[in-house]
Amino acid sequence: MGEEMGKPRVLVVGGTGRIGQYISRASVDQGYPTFILTRSALGSDTRKSELIQSLKDSGAVIVEGSLDNHESLLSALRQVDVVISSLAESNLLDQLKLVEAIKEVGTIKRFLPSEYGTDPDRVLHALEPAQQIFGPKRQVRRAIEAAGIPYTYVSSNCIACFFLPGLAQYGIFTPPEDEVAIYGDGNTKVIWVDERDSATYAMKAIDDPRAINKTLYIRPPANILSQNEVVEIWERKIGKTLEKTTITEEDILTRIQDGEFPVNVELAIFHVIFYKGALYNFDIGPDALEASELYPEVTYTSADSYLDQFMVGRKAHISP
**In the chain, which ranges are E strands?**
10-13, 34-38, 61-64, 82-85, 110-112, 152-155, 158-159, 179-183, 189-193, 214-217, 224-226, 243-247, 288-290
Dihedral Cα 68, 159, 202, 10, nearest 10 deg = 30
Determine whether 137 is an active site residue: yes
Between strands 61-64 and 34-38, the pairing is parallel
Which of 48, 137, 214, 244 is an active site residue? 137
Separation between Cα atoms, residue 92 and residue 76, nearest integer Å: 19
Q: How far apart are CA 298 and CA 219, in angstroms?
A: 13
Closest CA to 216 of 112, 306, 109: 112
Buried-state track 267-280, b at ≥16 Cβ within 10 A, e below 16: bbbbbbbbbebbbb
Contacts of 99 (CB under 8 A, 6+ apart): 111, 140, 143, 144, 147, 149
Q: Is residue 308 exposed (0-12), middle (13-18) or buried (19+ Cβ within 10 Å)?
A: exposed
Collect all residues with Cβ–Cβ distance below 8 Å to 225 and sequence separation of at least 6: 189, 190, 192, 233, 303
* Distance set, CA 166 to CA 41, 115, 181, 182, 278 (Å): 34, 22, 10, 11, 20
What residues act catalytically?
137
